[in-house]
Structure 1
Amino acid sequence: MAWHDNVRVDALWTINEHANAWAWIDGAWCKFDDNHEDSVINMAILCANAKAGGRNVNARIEDSRLKEIYIW
């Protein structure tokens, strides 16, 4: 488990495919964990708000997958 604390969401990418959304966090692309479709939607909303507001996040990333995110 790898936590990335006080980092920025610098970019977002999605495509019209099932649960296919990515964020550029702490210098690398990470795919939103897609075990549950609702979690992809919710993380996209959180990341978009963090990016738009220039707010820092704490993100748990495992195997290039965003598993958990907190916005400050």
Structure 2
Amino acid sequence: MYAFATISFIVGTFIFLYVGMDALDIDKWKSSKASPGTSIAVSSTLFALVLVGRAAFVFPIANITNYIKKRLSTKIEL
């Protein structure tokens, strides 16, 4: 159990650092042909899709967990 949590933490940290360092690469920003409006539209669309995808999985799983656990004290509040 702790091994998976540790691996998850390390991988999350690595991805965060990689994306952060990649976003600071000025040469990539200079060579981009997309307009700022296109970049904002793509970013907004991806952000909305991530939120919808997260909600599509979190709420049903929480409801299934609440259905399985009969005691009131162990229920996950939505």
Whether these two folds match at TM > 0.5 is no
TM-score band, normalised by shorter chain:
under 0.3
**Which TM-score applies when normalising by structure 2?**
0.26
Which of the pair has the greater relative contact order for Cα pairs under 8 Å at 6+ separation?
Answer: 1
**Which TM-score applies when normalising by structure 1?**
0.28
Q: Would you tell me which structure has more strand in proportion to its own residues?
A: 1
